[in-house]
Structure 1
Amino acid sequence: MSIQNTKLSNDDIISAYEFMLFIRRFEEKASELYGQGKIGGFCHLYIGQEAVACGIKYAKSANDKIITAYRDHGLILACDCDPKSVMAELTGRIDGTSLGKGGSMHIFDIKNNFYGGHGIVGAQVSIGTGLGFAAKYKSDNSVSITLMGDGAANQGQVYESFNMAKLWNLPVLYIIENNGYAMGTSVKRSSSTTSFFNRGISFEIPGFAVDGMDFFTVYDAIRISLDKIRNGSGPQLIEIITYRYRGHSMSDPAKYRTKDEVEHFKSKDPIQTLKKHILNNNIANEIIFKEIDKKIKQKINDIEKFSLESPLPNENLLYEHIYSN
Structure 2
Amino acid sequence: MATKSGAAASKAASGATRSRSRKATTAQKSRTQKAGSTNYSADELLKYYRDMLLIRRFEEKAGQMYGMGLIGGFCHLYIGQEAVVTGIQASMQESDSVVASYRCHGHMLACGMDAKGVMAELTGRRGGYSKGKGGSMHMFSREKNFFGGHGIVGAQVPIGTGIAFAQKYLGENSVHFCYLGDGAVNQGQVYESFNMAALWKIPIVYVIENNRYGMGTSVQRASASTELYKRGMAYGIPGVQADGMDVIKVRDVAREVIQKVRGGAGPYILEVMTYRYRGHSMSDPAKYRSREEVQKMRSEHDPIDQLKKLILDNKLGEEDALKKIDREVKDIVSDAAEFAQNSQEPDPSELYTDVYAAPL
TM-score category (smaller protein): over 0.9
Q: Supply the AA of the counterpart residue of 2:173.
A: N
Matches within 5 A, 1:49-64: 49-64=81-96
1:264 Cα offset (Å): 2.0
2: CA distance, partners of 1:294 / 1:127 = 38
Q: Supply the AA of the counterpart residue of 2:245.
A: M
- Name 2:280's counterpart in structure 1: 248
2: CA distance, partners of 1:305 / 1:320 = 26
Q: 2:61 aligns with which of 7, 29, 46?
A: 29
Q: 1:120 aligns with which of 145, 148, 152?
A: 152
- Name 1:304's counterpart in structure 2: 337
2: CA distance, partners of 1:3 / 1:229 = 28
Matches within 5 A, 1:190-229: 190-229=222-261
1:305 Cα offset (Å): 1.1
Q: Return 314-323 or 68-77, whichever deviates more.
A: 314-323
2: CA distance, partners of 1:289 / 1:154 = 41
Q: Return 6-15 or 150-159, whichever deviates more.
A: 6-15
Matches within 5 A, 1:1-325: 6=38, 8-266=40-298, 267-325=300-358
**TM-score computed with the length of structure 1 as normaliser:** 0.97
**Do the aligned partners of 1:175 and 1:240 also contact (CA within 8 Å) in 2?**
yes
1:193 Cα offset (Å): 1.1
**Do the aligned partners of 1:56 and 1:78 also contact (CA within 8 Å) in 2?**
no
2: CA distance, partners of 1:167 / 1:219 = 28
**TM-score computed with the length of structure 2 as normaliser:** 0.88
User: Structure 2 vs 1, CA of residues 211 and 124 (structure 1 numbering), >3 Å: closer, same or farther?
Assistant: same
Cα deviation 1:73-128 (Å, max 9, x = unaligned): 00011110111101111111111011010000112111110001001110100000
**Do the aligned partners of 2:115 and 2:332 also contact (CA within 8 Å) in 1?**
no
Cα deviation 1:8-52 (Å, max 9, x = unaligned): 321011110011011100000000110111111000000000001
- Identity, % of aligned positions: 54
1:260 Cα offset (Å): 2.2
Cα deviation 1:221-249 (Å, max 9, x = unaligned): 11111111111111111110100000000
1: CA distance, partners of 2:103 / 2:137 = 7
Q: CA RMSD in A?
A: 1.2
Between Structure 1 and Structure 2, whose CA radius of gyration is higher?
2
1: CA distance, partners of 2:269 / 2:132 = 33
1:323 Cα offset (Å): 1.4
**Do the aligned partners of 1:3 and 1:217 also contact (CA within 8 Å) in 2?**
no
Cα deviation 1:108-166 (Å, max 9, x = unaligned): 11111000100111010000000110110011111110010000000001011001001
1: CA distance, partners of 2:36 / 2:235 = 30
**Do the aligned partners of 1:69 and 1:119 also contact (CA within 8 Å) in 2?**
yes
User: Structure 2 vs 1, CA of residues 5 and 226 (structure 1 numbering), >3 Å: closer, same or farther?
Assistant: farther
User: Structure 2 vs 1, CA of residues 180 and 63 (structure 1 numbering), >3 Å: closer, same or farther?
Assistant: same
User: Structure 2 vs 1, CA of residues 92 and 3 (structure 1 numbering), >3 Å: closer, same or farther?
Assistant: farther
2: CA distance, partners of 1:308 / 1:259 = 33
2: CA distance, partners of 1:70 / 1:8 = 32
2: CA distance, partners of 1:147 / 1:133 = 16
- Aligned to 1:238, what secondary structure does the other structure show? strand
- Aligned to 2:195, what secondary structure does the other structure show? helix
**Do the aligned partners of 1:183 and 1:248 also contact (CA within 8 Å) in 2?**
yes
- Aligned to 2:327, what secondary structure does the other structure show? helix
2: CA distance, partners of 1:61 / 1:75 = 15
Runs of at least 5 residues in structure 2 that lack an aligned partner in the other structure: 1-33
2: CA distance, partners of 1:74 / 1:236 = 22
1:294 Cα offset (Å): 1.2
